[in-house]
Amino acid sequence: MNDVVAGLEIAVVIDPNDQERWAVFSRRLDTEVIELELTADGLVDPVSGTLFDPFLGIGLLGPLAEQSLDKLPAFTSFPDDYVTFFPDGKTWP
């Protein structure tokens, strides 16, 4: 999922085979913001064709292969706990 949270362009990546394995990355590389898609091969920027490791954010193949996405801090929370700690927070459906 590509989104913007508090002005920060992010991508949330969930392993389709294990929903408990996930990561959050910044989509900003220098001054450019990229879109990301999870494919059978990995995490892909469809504009440049660059393939990134979907859980490490490391560029593997393509023109951006020498760059890495910044992995952002994130944690799993149960819905009732989330509302307790972040009453004004927003969740994705």
For the residues of 54-91, what is the DSSP string, one character each?
Answer: TTT-BEEESTTTT-BPPBPP-----HHHHHHH-TT---
33-54 mean pLDDT: 94
How many domains does one find in the chain?
Answer: 1
**pTM of the complete model:** 0.82
pLDDT of residue 67: 94
Q: Is 92 inside a domain boundary?
A: no
CB-CB neighbours of 89 under 10 Å: 9
Q: Is 91 inside a domain boundary?
A: no
Domain residues for the domain of 22 are 2-85
pLDDT of residue 92: 66
Are 48 and 73 in contact by the 8 Å Cβ rule? The answer is no
Name the band, by pLDDT with cuts 50, 70 and 90, for residue 58: very high
Q: Is 93 inside a domain boundary?
A: no
- Which amino acid appears at position 92 of this protein? W
